[in-house]
Structure 1
Amino acid sequence: MISRRLVLLGGGTAALSACVGGNGIGSNGSAQIDARVNATRDYLFQRYPGTQDLAARSAGVLYMPLVTEAGFGFGGSYGRGALRIRDVTVDYYSSTKASFGLQIGAQQYAHALFFTTDAALAEFRRSPGWAAGADIRYATPEMGQSLGKETTELDPVVALVFGQQGLIAGASVAGVKYTRIIP
């Protein structure tokens, strides 16, 4: 029984490693991340026009163009992206998440964090490892058409998860840790 669990755990780890391998590790670094961020931003603005106005009103936006998540009992996710202020990349970040529970499958998705206040952005940038928590407001892609001024006045961080593909139901940034990296 123990050896079967180890085989399953090892297989799950190998599957996650394979998914993460296509996620930019050992790649061209910042140029590849910037290209992916540009494509993600363009897709987001075209598909959900309200996000362009939200980005313009925000102090900064963290774009995570590709997050890979896999789990079989134990799970995890990993992605890399860029923080942009006035649409200029200022830092690169990785996102990681570990989980345990009733889960099986894999998925990929993109997300963007809109820092709607200077204070929220400053707190994020000062932190050696910022963890997404309850202070984030989740916007659904359908809301991307109508994210109004009241959203940015009430919520210091707005998260939008979009482009999901895979076999795990639901994606969120709750419990995700963001760490500044040098690609």
Structure 2
Amino acid sequence: MTVTRRTLTLGLCATSLLAACGNGVGGRGASTIDARVDATLSQMYADYPGTRDLAAKSTGMLVMPLVTEAGFGIGGGFGRGALRVGGATVDYYSVAKASGGLQIGGKQYSHVLFFMTEDALQTFRRSPGYAAGANIEYAIPERGETLAAETTTSLAPVIAVIFGQAGLQIGATLEGVKYTRIIP
């Protein structure tokens, strides 16, 4: 595939747009990330009470308080968060997304990965960069609705709950997601 000047320009514009959005987790300090994780969990539990049961059944949770995505042909996304095991932060992670295809717009959202088995949690922690894939079951609750029963009784090793969406991004894309351990 050759990269045309137009594609390169669109990619640079998308990157600039993403940088201009700022995902609100600009403070790199651990205390800032932990405070945002606490606020995100409080919001999720208040808005979607069924997630309390999901959290109680999980062996760990990766909480991304705010992920910002933008794209115009080529797009990307970024956020920072913390891995909690037994209610305590054990590591900090960033998430980076890349996408390409017919797309335009930007959005922000929060998400939590619930590791439902010890093996899934250990695979995540041992990997140098965990790529989200087909082994994750997604639950995207609508405002005012509870999570469907199958998400709390699922046998999936990892369940992702996405909530707090803001913005608009439309299109059809291919994308990849990678979680990387960071030192805040």
TM-score bucket of the superposed structures, by smaller chain: 0.7 to 0.9
Change beyond 3 A, Cα 1:133–1:6: closer
* Structure 2 residues not aligned, in runs of 5+: none
Cα deviation, residue 31, structure 1: 1.0
Alignment partner of 1:155: what SS?
A: coil
Contact in 2 for aligned 1:92/1:180 (Cα 8 Å): yes
Identity of aligned pairs, percent?
A: 58
In the alignment, which residue of structure 1 is the partner of 2:176?
175
After TM superposition, give the deviation of residue 165 of structure 1 in Å: 0.4
| Larger relative strand fraction | 2
Give the unaligned 5+ runs of structure 1: none
Shift of 1:51: 0.4
What letter matches 2:69 in structure 1?
E
Secondary structure at the aligned position of 2:147 is classed as helix
Q: How does 1:8-157 map to 2 (within 5 A)?
A: 8-20=10-22, 22-25=23-26, 27-141=27-141, 142-144=145-147, 146=149, 150-151=153-154, 154-157=155-158
TM-score by structure 2 length?
0.87
Aligned residue for 2:134, secondary structure, equals coil
The runs of at least 4 aligned residues of structure 1 exceeding 6 Å deviation read none
How many residues of Structure 1 are paired with residues of Structure 2 in the alignment?
175
- 8 A contact 1:49–1:145 mirrored in 2: no
C-alpha contact (below 8 Å) 2:79/2:95 kept by paired residues: yes
Cα distance between partner residues in 1 of 2:128 and 2:98: 18
When the two structures are superposed, what TM-score results if normalisation uses the length of structure 1? 0.87
- The Cα RMSD (Å) is 2.0
Checking the alignment, whether the CA contact within 8 Å between 1:69 and 1:77 is kept in structure 2 is yes
Q: Distance in 1 between matches of 2:152 and 2:179?
A: 26
Q: Quote the offset at 1:147 in angstroms.
A: 5.7
Q: Say if 1:123 and 1:28 are closer, same or farther in 2 by CA, change over 3 A.
A: closer
Q: Which has the higher helix share?
A: 1
AA matched with 2:100: F
CA deviations on 1:125-170 (whole Å, 9 max, x unpaired) are 000000000011111314526466522xx11100111111001149
